[in-house]
Amino acid sequence: MSVRVTDSVRPEIRSLQPYVPGKPVEELERELGISGAVKLASNENPLGPSPLAIAAMQAAIHGVNRYPDGGSFYLREALASAWGMPFESIAVGSGSNDLIDVLCRIHLGPGDEAIMSHPAFVMFAVAVKVAGGTLVRVPGKGMFHDPAAMLAAITDKTRLVYFSNPDNPTGTIVRRRAMDDYFRHVPEHIVTILDEAYFEYVTDPEYPNGLDYLRRGHRVAVLRTFSKVYALAGLRVGYGFFPTDLAGLVHRVRLPFNVTSVAQAAAQASLQDTEQITRSRALVQEGLELFHREIPPLGIELTPSWTNFVLARFPRSSVDAARTLERHGVIIRPMTSFGLSPEYARISIGSGLENERLIESLRSLA
């Protein structure tokens, strides 16, 4: 009798579902025999990378026969100076997802608990399970995290508490008062992860900057990324600020060459382009206004969003709606893989033309 490899694998690994990414545009175009399809499914930035990043990538390509700088030295220096944080507090990852994974591997083993809201960013749940920890999900208040309930779920076994702020897939934030309150009460043995992948998009004056908690001496890991506002999702580069002892552990656990030389060069150059942030924010603001004006009258409810996407509740199955939209060449993302009921789908904000195209296709559903 043959033994299958999976027989000897931990049950929590066997039960994992593969991450379901948005359908590639090329795939839809091939299926339908069309061109010019629009993908509003992965919270990407339609403006494309900064010209400074493109020039830096072009220059860096010539050196890819060499391994990258394993410590991302110049990028970390640039981040330290951009944010006024110590160089030793910074680590860079292959996307911020890499750092989520590393933090779980550092802190979790059998019997250790990690708390997250439901709904929230699913990749944290995957990282907890892969690390062998126990995931504790705390229901949100509607589509908002409930920090008081998350605090109440802490036990002696809790090692990590994870906030996606703003959250994906809901697009909502935890405001400063609630976050301050959380940090006033959180026990010292806990590491709190503040995943701020959409930080640059938030203009709400009550939105807390995670770095303030780190500066005040809390045990907090603040994660950011170049995938969103900086439009470098395809390069895979994210970064985090940590208490320096934790940063030291991150550097020991992460893979030695986890960020390519091209990615380091592009990210460093992007930091110089503050215009990129202004342009991207304006595009998202315009898109959000358009979505909120045009979509609810079609019977589709939108959760308020502080990000470059919205969570939409369709009157019936969003899976059917997504299939119909695909026939119009528009890709959105049903959220069943994030554990939401089938009415919910996430729609990213695209360029002006892409947004118009979406709205026209949504009208055809009615």
Ligand X SMILES: Cc1ncc(COP(=O)(O)O)c(C=O)c1O
Give the angle 41-172-328 at the CA atoms, nearest 5°: 25
Residue 317 CA to residue 322 CA, distance in Å, equals 9
By beta-carbon proximity to ligand X, the closer residue of 227 and 270 is 227
By beta-carbon proximity to ligand X, the closer residue of 43 and 318 is 43
Does the protein bind ligand X through residue 95 (CB under 6 A)?
yes
**What's the closest the beta carbon of residue 201 comes to ligand X, in angstroms?**
11
Does the protein bind ligand X through residue 168 (CB under 6 A)?
yes
Contacts with ligand X, 195-214, as mask; x by CB under 6 A: x-x-----------------
**What's the closest the beta carbon of residue 317 comes to ligand X, in angstroms?**
24
**What's the closest the beta carbon of residue 348 comes to ligand X, in angstroms?**
10
Does the protein bind ligand X through residue 163 (CB under 6 A)?
no
Does the protein bind ligand X through residue 89 (CB under 6 A)?
no
**What spatial distance separates the first Cα and last Cα of the chain, rounded to whole Å?**
56
Q: Which residue has the tokens 């899976």?
A: 319
**What's the closest the beta carbon of residue 52 comes to ligand X, in angstroms?**
20
What does the CA dihedral 233, 349, 305, 125 come to, rounded to 10 degrees?
A: -40
Residue 304 CA to residue 355 CA, distance in Å, equals 17
DSSP for 170-225, please give it: T-----HHHHHHHHHHS-TTPEEEEE-TTGGG---TTPPPHHHHHHTT--EEEEEE
Does the protein bind ligand X through residue 225 (CB under 6 A)?
yes
Contacts with ligand X, 32-71, as mask; x by CB under 6 A: -----------x----------------------------
Tell me the number of residues near ligand X by CB under 6 A.
13
Q: Can you tell me which of 50, 164, 170, 361 binds ligand X, judged by CB under 6 A? A: 164
* Residue 39: C-alpha distances to residues 4, 149, 187, 251, 328 (Å): 38, 36, 43, 35, 11
Looking only at the bridges linking them, the beta strands covering 309-313 and 301-302 are antiparallel
Q: Which residue type is seen at 96?
A: S
- Scanning 92-100, 245-253, 292-300, 338-346 for contacts with ligand X by CB under 6 A, the matching segment is 92-100
Q: Can you tell me which of 117, 227, 270, 348 binds ligand X, judged by CB under 6 A? A: 227
**Residue ranges that bind ligand X, judged by CB under 6 A:** 43, 95-97, 121, 164, 168, 195, 197, 225, 227, 233, 238
